[in-house]
Amino acid sequence: ILNVEQSPQSLHVQEGDSTNFTCSFPSSNFYALHWYRWETAKSPEALFVMTLNGDEKKKGRISATLNTKEGYSYLYIKGSQPEDSATYLCAPYSAGNMLTFGGGTRLMVKP
Amino acid sequence: DGGITQSPKYLFRKEGQNVTLSCEQNLNHDAMYWYRQDPGQGLRLIYYSQIVNDFQKGDIAEGYSVSREKKESFPLTVTSAQKNPTAFYLCASSIVRSYNSPLHFGNGTRLTVT
């Protein structure tokens, strides 16, 4: 089973702050990196699927970058809003392991 | 609306009893998955199915069983052999089992065994 680390585990920010968090994973046998957002009392929803080194994806105020050589991805949220409060999960997909989820970063945005 | 339905939302069972968690999807997806979440841990894969009548063990299959008789349905049975069955269970599906195919999740079932 892959070791997937997400940091920080939790984060409190004020509305309007920009924030970022990290997903670290083994770089060998890498196929793709998935990001999911999981709001309380809802089901996780896919944000991004990234495959190429240097890839950058954007969805509204949320963007993500990928470094497959060193095994990390950053998720950025610009101008956080209360509705961004959720747990953000990353999951690398690698040969033989399929998707392996990290423990998540729990973001709380105060109005 | 297309989606994944898990039922029930909460389930309580006595130790030693088998229990079956339901998962139905109307997304016409080929692949379906069962994950377990425990406090402080990432989602862990229990079983997955790529097509009807086929399923494979995930990382923590011991004490669980599944069936895939219909494309839409992938029920999970938690047997009395599962040592720590109390957990939150998530069902998911994807168009196919592929590295670039995102998962669609249900709302989960919280199982408590006493």
| SS3 annotation, B10-56 | EEEECCCCCEEEEEEECCCCCEEEEEEECCCCCCEEEEEECCCCCCE
pLDDT of residue B26: 96
Q: What integer best gives the mean pLDDT of chain A? A: 95
What is the mean pLDDT of the segment spanning B35-49? 93
Decide the pairing of beta strands B31-37 and B44-49. antiparallel
pLDDT of residue B41: 85
How many Å is the Cα radius of gyration of chain A? Answer: 13
pLDDT of residue A64: 98
Asked if the model's pLDDT at residue A91 lies above 70, the reply is yes
As a whole number of angstroms, the distance between CA B66 and CA B69 comes to 10
Query: Residue B107 burial (CB < 10 Å; 0-12/13-18/19+)?
Result: middle
Residue with tokens 């991004």: A48
Which tops the pLDDT comparison, A68 or A28?
A68
A34 touches chain B (CB under 8 A): yes
Handedness of CA B11, B87, B74, B82 (dihedral sign): negative
Reported as a single tens digit per residue, the pLDDT across B74-98 is 999 999 999 999 999 999 999 998 9
Reported as a single tens digit per residue, the pLDDT across A5-38 is 999 999 999 999 999 999 999 998 899 999 999 9
Looking at the DSSP bridge assignments, the partners of residue B94 are: B31
Which member of B42, B104, B108 has the closest CB to residue A103? B42
Asked if the model's pLDDT at residue B39 lies above 90, the reply is no
Cα-Cα end-to-end distance for chain A: 39
As a whole number of angstroms, the distance between CA A67 and CA A106 comes to 22
As a whole number of angstroms, the distance between CA B98 and CA A31 comes to 10
Handedness of CA A71, B43, B3, A88 (dihedral sign): negative
**Yes or no, beta carbons of A49 and B102 under 8 Å apart:** yes
Asked if the model's pLDDT at residue A95 lies above 90, the reply is no
Quick check: B95 and B44 in contact, CB under 8 A?
no
B97 touches chain A (CB under 8 A): yes
Asked if the model's pLDDT at residue B1 lies above 70, the reply is no
Asked if the model's pLDDT at residue A99 lies above 70, the reply is yes
Size of interface A-B (CB pairs under 8 A): 52
Our separate counts of H helices and E strands in chain A read 0, 11
Q: Kindly state the percentage of chain B with pLDDT values over 70.
A: 99
Which member of A4, A31, A42 has the closest CB to residue B42? A4
pLDDT of residue A84: 97
As a whole number of angstroms, the distance between CA B47 and CA B32 comes to 9
Tell which phi-psi region holds residue A16, choosing left (phi > 0), alpha (psi between -120 and 50) or beta: left
**Yes or no, beta carbons of A100 and B106 under 8 Å apart:** no
**Yes or no, beta carbons of B45 and A104 under 8 Å apart:** no
Which residues of chain B are within 8 Å of residue A51 when distances are taken between CB atoms? 99-100
